[in-house]
Chain A
């Protein structure tokens, strides 16, 4: 059974704190993604990675950075958390095969920035 795990289900941080969200997949997938999901806005792509040490900006990268040091792990970093980064964060992975590839999602991390 394929699995994508995220380090926390719920997280509460203060404005200005550095926040790390971790995602691990056990499917040997090349591609990994970070999204945020907000009511009425749907899923928005923050960053994605096609390979170890590679990263590409998505639609809303401002205020975020990522790290992919190992194939199975993709980290999202909020350098200085702000209240407008309160959201549900979802990690996903796919294999490289083709555009047919489906995305496997983690359970999500609900981040609240106070």
Chain B
């Protein structure tokens, strides 16, 4: 069955450093991979989408990579700030709008001042 793995351990980073989160998937060949941010007690919010033919995507301090050979996506936050503290979810997706989104269980990121 399709499986998405994110680092279940919380990630603690010093403010100003780069945070790197990992998303690995198995038994799946997604056409897209989405990343979401979720704050406590709230619904996830979409951040970035990367396509299978894109190696890297950037948005302000965020960078996502997508390696279809390794079946892995990395999510980077540069110059991290305490306001970046949240849980980050990855969500691989097929081509068709009929394919449902599967979410990873998320990695909790804490940025200490």
Binding site for B on A (CB under 8 A): 4, 31, 33, 35, 40-43, 45, 48, 50, 58, 90, 92, 94, 96-108, 110
Give the A-binding residues of B (Cβ under 8 A).
8, 31-32, 34, 36, 41-46, 49, 51, 89, 91, 93-106
Structural contact, A106 and B43, CB atoms closer than 8 A: yes
A49 to chain B, nearest CB (A): 11
- A31→B96 CA distance, assembly (Å): 13
Judge whether B95 and A104 touch: CB under 8 Å.
Answer: no
Report if A99-B46 is in contact (Cβ < 8 Å); known contacts: A40-B105, A43-B89, A110-B41. no
Partner of B105, one of A4, A35, A42: A42
In the complex, which of the residues B32, B42, B44 contacts A99, with contact meaning CB atoms closer than 8 Å? B32
- Give the tally of cross-chain contacts (CB within 8 A): 64
- Chain B min CB distance to A59 (Å): 9
In-complex Cβ contact of B89 among A33, A41, A42, A48 (8 A): A42
**CB <8 Å contact, B45 and A98:** no
Chain A residues with CB below 8 A from B36, complex form:
103
- Taking CB as reference atom, which chain A residue is nearest B95? A99
- Report the bound CA distance from A110 to B45 in whole Å: 18
Residues of the A chain whose Cβ atoms lie less than 8 Å from the Cβ of B31: 99
CB distance from B46 to the nearest CB of A (A): 4
Check if B103 sits within 8 Å of A42, measured CB to CB: yes
Q: Which residue of B41, B42, B95 is within 8 Å of A98 (Cβ)? A: B95
